[in-house]
Amino acid sequence: MSDQTPILVSFPLCPYVQRAAIVLAEKGVAFRRIDIDLADKPDWFLRLSPTGRVPLLRVGDAVLFESAAIIEYLDEVHAPRLHPDDPLTRARHRAWIDQGSALLSDLWTIETTKDQARFDAACASLQTRLSRLAQELGDRHWFGGARFSLVDAVHAPVFRYFDLLEDAGLHLVPPALAAWRGRLMQRASVIGAVPPDYAPRLRAFVMAEGGILSTRLSL
């Protein structure tokens, strides 16, 4: 690999890192992945990152942060184009990418909170957002139609949480999203975006948090 090989600074469970890993794989771009311990961030990482958060993408001497900016950059410099060509449709897709982050925020609360009222509110919010997403998706194969798009890449890490939630008796995904979820989970770029032991790692993380979800998983 040359010095221009992108380096993705990562954390194995991070859904925002997965966005970048999926887009790199969709484009067949070789990259190096460096996992760091977010509980003990290395000094070199803190020097490079303006926010202290992963992902970071190092390209030559440049460092990019914020997953939405990273995937848009990758989309602009490497074929095939995943964002739509039409500016109006592209703007709508950017807005749905933002909604993907809102889903992750609800999921973080569901994974970690010890407060039953916050847990219930996050489940309700997630369900509302998912049913709006289902209305927008309609019966399309991918979010934008026939071609896999950045919006698909952003939602794949969201759907990865639901196996664990379903183990805890929480069935929050509307049936209208089931086929899209299945297609996303079978996509090679999505499978390869996490380590093979992702599922037990996620479970261990949730159990260690000791929140409402961990109690439901222990029942």
Ligand X SMILES: N[C@@H](CCC(=O)N[C@@H](CS)C(=O)NCC(=O)O)C(=O)O
State in angstroms the smallest separation of the CB of 216 from ligand X: 22
Give the burial class of 140: count Cβ atoms within 10 A of its Cβ; 0-12 exposed, 13-18 middle, 19 or more buried. Answer: exposed
With contacts defined by CB under 6 A, how many residues of the chain interact with ligand X?
11
Binding mask 58-97 for ligand X (x = CB under 6 A): --------xxx-----------------------------
Looking at the Cβ atoms of 35 and 66, the one nearer to ligand X is 66
Give the burial class of 154: count Cβ atoms within 10 A of its Cβ; 0-12 exposed, 13-18 middle, 19 or more buried. Answer: buried
Helices (H) and strands (E) in the chain — how many of each? 11, 4
DSSP β-bridge partners for residue 62:
59
Active-site position among 9, 14, 36, 56:
14
Q: How far apart are CA 110 and CA 107, in angstroms?
A: 5
**Residue 123: active-site member:** no
* Strand, helix or coil for residue 113: coil
Query: b/e for 94-120, b at 16 or more Cβ within 10 A?
Result: eebbebbeebbebbebbbbbeeeeebe
Sole binder of ligand X in the list 28, 42, 50, 52 (CB under 6 A): 52
Task: Give the end-to-end CA distance of the chain in Å, rounded to a whole number.
Answer: 48
Binding mask 14-43 for ligand X (x = CB under 6 A): x-x---------------------x-----
Sole binder of ligand X in the list 54, 107, 164, 193 (CB under 6 A): 54
Scan residues 123-152 and list those touching ligand X (CB under 6 A): none
| Interface stretch with ligand X, choices 9-17, 113-121, 129-137, 189-197 (CB under 6 A) | 9-17
Residues with a catalytic annotation lie at 14
Q: Which residues bind ligand X (CB under 6 A)?
A: 11, 14, 16, 38, 52-55, 66-68
